[in-house]
Chain A
Amino acid sequence: MNLDQDPALEAFRTEVAEFLDTAPTDAIREAGRKTTSVFAPFDEVMAWHRILAKKGWAAPGWPVEYGGTGWSVEQRYVYAEEYSKRDLPPLLPNGLQMIGPLLMHLGTDEQKARHLPGILAGDDYWTQGYSEPNSGSDLASLACSAVADGDDYVINGSKIWTTYAHHANRMFMLVRTSTEGKKQAGITFLLLERLDLPGLEIRPIIGLDGVPEQCEVFFRDVRVPQSGRVGAENDGWAVAKALLVHERSGGVASPSLRRKVEAIREAAGRQRTAFGGVLADDPVFQRDLGLIEAEIGSIEHIEKLAISRHPIAADVAFPSMTKVMGTELTQALSVLMTRVAGQRGLPVQTAALEVGSAVPPLDDDLSLVAMPYYLNSRATTIYAGTNEIQRDLIARTIAR
């Protein structure tokens, strides 16, 4: 064993730190501080995406030929660490981590040339059209249909949990093109190049945190060109499964979780308790904070196993395990945050939470974000394959 690092990594860290200290605008920093979801405030995060794209840093994980940075795994970890320390809004994952890598693997040359540059540059935002009101965990039961008609498909049905669809100009989606045979065998993967189409209607859904992050999208005889199909007709399930792997391999979580713990610790040093003294000195709080610290530590250690290519990280259950660990820890952390905020977390402060708002927060930043963060994070164990589905997948690798 050894923990030796390439000495050049520290020079790289300095270079990253200098850029991240100077490049973001005040609005982007504010958006980072007010991010209470995986999905940061839209306008600011896309502005930040475009700044990073100009620098060439928008897609550290992409191959160089498509505009990636060519950084080593270790460099990417350092970048993620420095990024998280600064409360910067995380770039939206749909393009960079989902449809982009999918097109690299399964798209035609024309599809790659047509779509990857806009994803990389931050000019396009792709929403994901997978779930339907009656198809969640049993995604393959989806019913939204596409019927071939000349060079087009005609789509009828609806999609739900389409994140930021009301901001999106693109969509990738699964449609039913056949009802013959197994339900998985009649699904096709489609790219929609525009969403301002006749018959397409987008309805934002107000979430528990009071803001529209998710949407429902209705299709009534919506015509789209067949050239947007990825893979063969009725072969979309295999395409979708390939994408799920990209979606679940979340990457680096521990630095941003640590950042949140620092904020909790700091606030607990000020928060008085009914017993007198401050929360930071309360034994029960110390124990619960210690548990979060320990769990973040183990997740960091798991990330270190992954970046050093330890065999444990090659386990087929590894993406599912890290999804479960990361999301359940996020929820536990959000609970601790609401405990520190206490009743200061109760006032609805939706206006103050908007970037550039003239309304000041009633109390400190932690009290402003604690409750929306807690409420929004309930989604983490539901999206990207519920944690129940993940546990099914993990169990299959044990019992034999």
Chain B
Amino acid sequence: MDLTFSDEQRLLADGVGRFLDTQRDFQARQAQLAAGTTLSPKVWQHLADQGLLALPRAESAGGMGGTIADVVAVAMRFGASLLTEPYLATVILSGAALEAAGTDEAHALLADIASGTAVVSFAHEEDVSGAPASQIGTTAVADGDAYVLNGTKALVLGAAEAHQIVVSARCDSDIALFLVDVTANGVGIDAFRTIDGRGAGRVHLDDVRLPARTLLVPHAEGVLDEIVADAVIYLAAETVGAMDTLLRMTGSYAMTRQQFGVPIGSFQTIAHRLADMKIAVTKAQASLLYVTALREAGRAGPADISLLKAQTGRLGRSVAESAVQTHGGVGMTDELAVGHLLKRILANDALFGDAELHLRLLGAPSRV
């Protein structure tokens, strides 16, 4: 058994980490967001140049053949650096759907994703986060050699920046995946930004008429389960990266911030909170690494995925809230990364079912 990252994985992660630390540190990120940009062409191009936009794709699909452990190694850096670019939507979610489709057209779009020229978002969940695919309400009705889609997807990451959207819809008794051009008639996108700085939008599909060739995956429930499992691991890795950063920032703040003439870290209340933060980070890291290894070995079941989502969600929230409290007033400001790391952790918790949902799934007799 080996739960460490390989030298290659460390090199990959250190490379992108160094780029983000130097070319897009927290100040640069905030300046970019203030200028209204959630997708920096410079950052996106760097990810493309490093092969990261095709990292998890099979070599047969023009990808790097990376494993989930490769993705996790990189995603921890993304979380620590509060990446705003639509990596999850385009690479982890849509890329996997396109690879599952396997058509020439899908492969061509994957090539455009890999080169950084195409941004694709993924519209699956509707107004209930973590609901099974069987609850999808968006419909696709065959009409001659076309399909007509109707429905609303409440929170679609990357929708603000995307050229195309992978959409899940109920089609007869199945759930199917379609590729929708954002300029198609009947597609409406209310663009917004999520609390953690990502571009997103509410996608309305109003009698959107699609040619048959846009049907990517006709029987998609199994594919969706796999895609969501990878997305959960990706989000967990981002959260653990953010948690680790918060622990280090808070530890050093507690040793430098003086009140009553001494560092606040010398007070037992603060010291014990730091200890609890380290315990939480260690648990989350351990579960991330082990579930990643399980997934890589093809042995991660729904309970393992729920466990990881629940633990990173609740432990992440606990660490981030402790970090804000320990930083005091300054932790409340927009100027410090602490609050933004909290927001990233909260956002990651809310996507694909929050900690409370997954805890209940773990405890329910039918699921485990």
Q: Which residues of A are at the interface with B, using a C-beta cutoff of 8 A? A: 1-5, 74, 265, 269, 280-281, 283, 285-295, 297-302, 304-305, 307-308, 310-312, 315, 317, 321, 324-325, 388, 390-392, 394-400
Residue B360 CB within 8 A of the other chain: yes
A281 partner residues in chain B, CB cutoff 8 A: 365
Q: Are B4's CB and A2's CB within 8 A?
A: no
Q: Cα distance A215–B247 when bound, in Å?
A: 42
A290 partner residues in chain B, CB cutoff 8 A: 306, 310, 358-364
A317 partner residues in chain B, CB cutoff 8 A: 278
Segment at the A interface, from B31-39, B46-54, B167-175, B281-289: B281-289
Q: Which of A3, A286, A302, A392 is the one whose CB lies under 8 Å from B282?
A: A302
CB distance from B6 to the nearest CB of A (A): 8
Q: Cα distance A400–B253 when bound, in Å?
A: 9
Q: Are A287's CB and B360's CB within 8 A?
A: yes
17 new A-B contacts, CB < 8 A, other than A290-B361, A291-B359, are: A1-B5, A1-B289, A2-B2, A2-B296, A3-B293, A3-B297, A297-B287, A301-B286, A304-B1, A305-B3, A305-B286, A308-B1, A391-B272, A392-B271, A394-B279, A399-B252, A399-B274
B263 partner residues in chain A, CB cutoff 8 A: 399
Q: Are B276's CB and A391's CB within 8 A?
A: yes
- 25 residue pairs bridging A and B, Cβ less than 8 Å apart: A1-B2, A3-B294, A5-B1, A74-B1, A280-B365, A286-B360, A287-B359, A287-B363, A290-B310, A294-B358, A301-B286, A302-B283, A304-B290, A305-B286, A307-B1, A308-B3, A310-B3, A325-B279, A390-B275, A391-B271, A391-B276, A392-B272, A394-B274, A397-B278, A399-B254
Q: Cα distance A392–B272 when bound, in Å?
A: 6
| Binary per-residue interface labels of chain B (274-318) against chain A in the complex, 1 for a CB within 8 Å, 0 otherwise | 111111001111110111111011010001101100110000000
Interface centre among B1, B294, B307, B358 (most CB of A within 10 A): B1
Known: A1-B292, A398-B275. A294 touches B285 (CB 8 A): no
CB distance from B73 to the nearest CB of A (A): 10
Interface residues of B in 1-58 (CB under 8 A from A): 1-6
Q: Which of B247, B275, B287 is the one whose CB lies under 8 Å from A391?
A: B275
Q: Are B265's CB and A301's CB within 8 A?
A: no
Known: A298-B287, A302-B286. A398 touches B299 (CB 8 A): no
Q: Are B311's CB and A3's CB within 8 A?
A: no
Residue B268 CB within 8 A of the other chain: yes
Q: Cα distance A302–B4 when bound, in Å?
A: 13
B365 partner residues in chain A, CB cutoff 8 A: 265, 269, 280-281
A291 partner residues in chain B, CB cutoff 8 A: 310, 359, 362-363
Interface residues of B in 223-272 (CB under 8 A from A): 247, 251-252, 254-255, 263, 265, 268, 271-272
Q: Which of A298, A311, A395, A398 is the one whose CB lies under 8 Å from B283?
A: A298
Q: Which of A3, A289, A294, A392 is the one whose CB lies under 8 Å from B307?
A: A294
CB distance from A338 to the nearest CB of B (A): 17
B89 partner residues in chain A, CB cutoff 8 A: none
Q: How large is the interface on B (under 10, 10 to 19, 20 to 34, 35 or more residues)?
A: 35 or more
Interface centre among A1, A287, A290 (most CB of B within 10 A): A1
Q: Are B279's CB and A293's CB within 8 A?
A: no
Q: Are A287's CB and B279's CB within 8 A?
A: no
Q: Which of B296, B299, B310 is the one whose CB lies under 8 Å from A1?
A: B296
Known: A281-B365, A287-B359, A302-B282. A400 touches B251 (CB 8 A): yes
Q: Cα distance A297–B236 when bound, in Å?
A: 15
Q: Which of B5, B255, B291, B368 is the one whose CB lies under 8 Å from A399?
A: B255
Q: Are A310's CB and B4's CB within 8 A?
A: yes
A283 partner residues in chain B, CB cutoff 8 A: 360
B310 partner residues in chain A, CB cutoff 8 A: 290-291, 294
Closest to A304 in B: B290
Q: Cα distance A294–B6 when bound, in Å?
A: 27
Q: Cα distance A74–B154 when bound, in Å?
A: 48
B364 partner residues in chain A, CB cutoff 8 A: 286, 290
CB distance from B54 to the nearest CB of A (A): 21
Q: Which of B252, B282, B285, B363 is the one whose CB lies under 8 Å from A293?
A: B363
Q: Are A1's CB and B293's CB within 8 A?
A: yes
CB distance from B151 to the nearest CB of A (A): 29
Closest to B5 in A: A1
A295 partner residues in chain B, CB cutoff 8 A: 283, 311
Residue B221 CB within 8 A of the other chain: no
Q: Which of A287, A300, A307, A396 is the one whose CB lies under 8 Å from B356?
A: A287
A2 partner residues in chain B, CB cutoff 8 A: 1-2, 293, 296-297
Residue B203 CB within 8 A of the other chain: no
CB distance from B136 to the nearest CB of A (A): 24
Closest to B67 in A: A1
CB distance from B229 to the nearest CB of A (A): 16
Closest to A391 in B: B275
Closest to A74 in B: B1
B2 partner residues in chain A, CB cutoff 8 A: 1-2, 308
Q: Cα distance A74–B263 when bound, in Å?
A: 44
Residue B342 CB within 8 A of the other chain: no
Q: Are B287's CB and A301's CB within 8 A?
A: yes
Q: Are A304's CB and B363's CB within 8 A?
A: no
CB distance from A211 to the nearest CB of B (A): 32
Known: A1-B4, A3-B297, A291-B359. A395 touches B307 (CB 8 A): no
Q: Cα distance A4–B272 when bound, in Å?
A: 38
Q: Are B307's CB and A293's CB within 8 A?
A: yes
B297 partner residues in chain A, CB cutoff 8 A: 2-3
Q: Cα distance A399–B358 when bound, in Å?
A: 33
Closest to A6 in B: B1
Interface centre among A281, A287, A294, A400 (most CB of B within 10 A): A294
Closest to A2 in B: B2
CB distance from B249 to the nearest CB of A (A): 11
